[in-house]
Amino acid sequence: MFKNRILTGLAAAVVAAAGFAGAGAAHAAQPPAGPASGPSAAPASVPKHAVTGYWQNFDNGAKVQKLSDVDANYDIIAVAFADATAKPGAVDFHLDPALNYSEDQFKADIKAKQAAGKSVIISIGGEKGTISVSDAASAENFADSVHALMEKYGFDGVDIDLENGLNSTYMSQALKSLASKSGGHPVITMAPQTVDMQSPQNEYFKTALAVKDILTVVNMQYYNSGSMNGCDGKVYAAGSVDFLTSLACVQLEGGLDASQVGIGVPSSPKAAGSGYVAPSVVNAALDCLTKGTGCGSFKPSKTYPGLRGAMAWSTNWDAAAGGEFAGQVGKHVHELP
């Protein structure tokens, strides 16, 4: 999603003239694995209206943070990213030494966030992620390895941010297996690109629908994107309230519950290559979808008061920009009825 992604593909036939490129910066190489220890935490209860933020386990010029530094308006903190291992489908995670952050302090900070009612999850993939879950064996390896990370660090669940292809059959199998291993109630989020959610026939969309009974929220990336079709069949350009609302409508009318849809945006102009919108635009889109006010030229045929909320890439870029996203969008999300 987030680490200088170059042009990655073109939209399906339903999209007119759509191409997209990515943003961010690569994180440093990781140290060897340490021994697993400690039980996974009981999952926090995600608020009806929630704000998701990605915390960077690397230094790419944004403000370097400990988890304890993350603004309290973030309800779900996605630790970015776990990396592939030599075992097909399996992932692992280690703190970047550049952060000068001990594992013990990291675990303690996770517990402190959870004690404050927040969820801390591990994000899988990113723009340069190479995780492939393409058969039953790799699906089980994925579930086993993510569960092991939940046990080791106390993560509440997992975020799926696979930007280089996804097999709905086996990713769905992996997530259902993970849910079973972790007691049935992990926090499960997804961060597909815009092109991935244009149709319920797309693999990412199919995955979301297949795990709808255990899915927390899909925070689609409304940035680094070309123009896309809205649910009214018209083409909308990125960077506008209409782009946010009309593409959210595709998901809302395509089978996801309103509580499973969030608006994912860059937290500052430096956080992505394109698609940044001011907090006021995000808030207008939230109002349009939930209350029917603040809309642009596109107005949904009905409102979705249960809409989950919004997502930011990243908490680090937000902090570097003075916390505008957390302070303005975060506050607005929490004030939704």
Residue with tokens 């086993």: 144
Check: CB of residue 181 under 8 Å from CB of residue 147: yes
Please give the structure tokens belonging to residue 225.
């994107």
Q: Rounded to whole angstroms, how far apart are CA atoms 245 and 239? A: 11
Q: Rounded to whole angstroms, how far apart are CA atoms 203 and 145? A: 23
- Torsions phi, psi for 111 (to 5 deg): -65, -40
The angle formed by the CA atoms of residues 85, 205 and 129, to the nearest 5 degrees, is: 20
Q: Rounded to whole angstroms, how far apart are CA atoms 328 and 41? A: 30
222, 241, 205, 238: which is closest to 313 by C-alpha?
Answer: 222
**Which of 140, 163, 253, 335 is labelled catalytic?**
163
Burial class (CB in 10 A: 0-12, 13-18, 19+), 330: buried
Q: Rounded to whole angstroms, how far apart are CA atoms 105 and 67? A: 9
Please give the structure tokens belonging to residue 90.
């399996």
Active site residue 163: yes
Active centre residues (catalytic): 163
